[in-house]
């Protein structure tokens, strides 16, 4: 009988502490940074998942791009690197 009370008491304490724990967790924002592959700096490109200094340099050397998919079609980066970043890049056209 005491074991049941201990378990119940432990559960009650855990539930009471949950809001404080949840409030302490950092809030995640729904916004994501979009990088223009036609104008981004090497440093900005390196912030993209899986893009290191060598790929960033290749992206810059391959400019201008008509569309973001040209990164793969023109063999600037492999498809495996493009997949994770495709929703985070655009190719704006200069006027």
pLDDT tens digit sequence for 30-72: 457 899 999 999 999 999 999 999 999 999 999 999 999 999 9
> pLDDT at position 85, please?
98
Q: Identify the band that residue 93 occupies on the pLDDT scale cut at 50, 70 and 90.
A: confident
> At residue 67, what are phi and psi to the nearest 5 degrees?
-155, 155
Residue 84, in any domain of the structure: yes
Residue 43 belongs to domain with CATH number: 1.10.150.320
Q: Which residues, listed in sequence order, are joined to residue 89 by a DSSP beta bridge?
A: 35
pLDDT tens digit sequence for 61-82: 999 999 999 999 999 999 999 9
Which residues contact residue 72 at a Cβ distance below 8 angstroms, ignoring those fewer than 6 apart?
Answer: 78, 79, 82
Question: How many structural domains comprise the chain?
Answer: 1
Domain range spanning residue 75? Answer: 35-90
């Amino acid at each position: 009988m005491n074991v049941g009370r201990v378990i119940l008491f432990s559960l009650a304490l855990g539930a009471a502490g949950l809001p404080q724990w949840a409030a302490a967790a950092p809030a995640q924002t729904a916004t994501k940074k979009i990088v223009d592959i036609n104008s981004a700096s090497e440093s900005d490109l390196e912030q993209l998942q899986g893009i290191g200094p060598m790929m960033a340099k290749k992206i810059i050397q391959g400019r201008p791009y008509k569309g973001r998919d040209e990164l793969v079609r023109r063999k600037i980066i492999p498809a495996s690197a493009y997949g994770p970043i495709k929703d985070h890049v655009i190719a704006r056209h200069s006027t």
